[in-house]
Amino acid sequence: MKKLILQGHLTHEGAGVKLKRIFAHDHTDLTDPFLLLDHFGSDNPADYVKGFPWHPHRGIETVTYMLGGTVEHGDNIGNSGTIGTGDIQWMTAGCGVIHQEMPKPSKGMMHGLQLWVNLPKKYKMMEPRYRGILENQVPVVKIPGGEVRVIAGTYKDVNGPVKELMVDVEYLDVRLKKGMTLSHTAKKEYTSFCYLIEGTGEFDNTKLEQAHLILFTEGGIIAAKAIEDIHYIFVTGKQLGEPIAWGGPIVMNTQEELELAFKELDDGTFIKKKKNNWQES
C-alpha cells in the first residue's frame, strides 16, 4: 500500500488559537475527500481562549471532536450550545453558514480535532445542517485490550450516530493497550488515515509517533499495533476526484464559484433561503 507520514506544523488560526495543522492545501491531491485536519488546544488558556469568532463556510463539512475541555458554538441557522469532552459537532455548511466556535478556559488540557470534508459538486449548495452528538450517544465496541468508539460509519455491525452523509466516511476513535493489534480495511478508491493522538504504534509495519499521521491512498488492510498504549483515530472516505477552488473557509469547484461566494459575502446575499434539494428520511 502507498503511504505517507505527515508531521504537520504549528500555526495560529481564528483570533489567535495555537494549533497543529496536520494537513491542508499542500496535500489535497492525496487527501481527497478530506481537506484539512487540525489538532488544537493547550493547557494554557492564553493559547486558545480568543477562539474562532464569527466566520463563514460554504461547500464543506466541518467535524469538531472534543478530546478535553469545552467549546461554545453558535450559528446563523439557530444552533447554539456547548460541546464538551467526547462530544462531536458535525456541521454541513452547504450553500452557506456563518458560525463561531469559542473555547472556554479549563483546568488541564483543552484540546480536540477539526476535520474538513469536501462536499461533492452536486451538494455544494445544499441546505446547511448541524448535528450535535453527545459523548453518551457514541457507541463503544469493546475489543481485546481496547475499545472502538464509532462516530460515523460501521464497525462490527455497530453504526455510528452520524447518518445520511453526503460523502461515505467512516470515523473511528480507537484505544489499544500495549502489545495489542487491530486491523482496518481501506477500500479501493477511498483515502484512509490514522492520526496518533497519544502513544507510539506501528501502522502497516511503519512506526508512528504521537501527533503524527499516516495516510493511505489505496485499498488494503491496515494493521495497527500498540508499541505502548495508544489512542488514535482511523478515518476513511470515498474519493471525489473533483476540482478544488479553495479560499479560506470556502471550498468550491471553480474560481468563478469562489469569487461569487466572496462577492455575496460583501453584498450581504451569502446566506440563502431554504431549498428543497435534499431530504432527511
- Residue 1: per-residue pLDDT: 77
Residue whose cell numbers read 448535528: 131
Share of the chain above pLDDT 70, in %: 97
| pLDDT tens figures, 30-44 | 999 999 999 998 999
Residue 123 domain flag: yes
pTM (2 decimals)? 0.95
- Poorest-confidence range of 13-27, 189-203, 266-280? 266-280
Alpha helices in 204-267 (DSSP H): 255-267
Task: Answer whether 242's CB lies under 8 Å from 253's CB.
Answer: yes
Residue 201 one-letter amino acid: G
Model confidence at 227, in pLDDT bands (50, 70, 90)? very high
- All three cell numbers of 146, joined, read 481496547
Give the distance between the most distant pair of CA atoms in the chain: 58
Domain count across the chain: 1
Position 261 in a domain: no
Does residue 9 sit within a domain? yes
Collect contacts of 160-165 with beta carbons under 8 A, ≥24 apart.
161/133, 161/137, 162/88, 162/90, 162/131, 162/133, 164/280, 164/281
Residue at 142 is within a domain: yes
pLDDT given at position 276? 39
For the domain that residue 191 is a member of, what is the CATH number?
2.60.120.10
Per-residue model confidence as pLDDT tens digits over 55-112: 999 999 999 999 999 999 999 988 888 999 999 999 999 999 999 999 999 888 899 9
Cα–Cα distance for residue pair 169/31, rounded to 1 Å: 13
Range of the domain at 169: 3-238
200-206: Cβ within 8 A, 24+ apart: 200/227, 200/228, 200/230, 201/176, 201/225, 201/226, 201/227, 201/228, 201/230, 201/232, 202/227, 204/1, 204/3, 206/3, 206/5
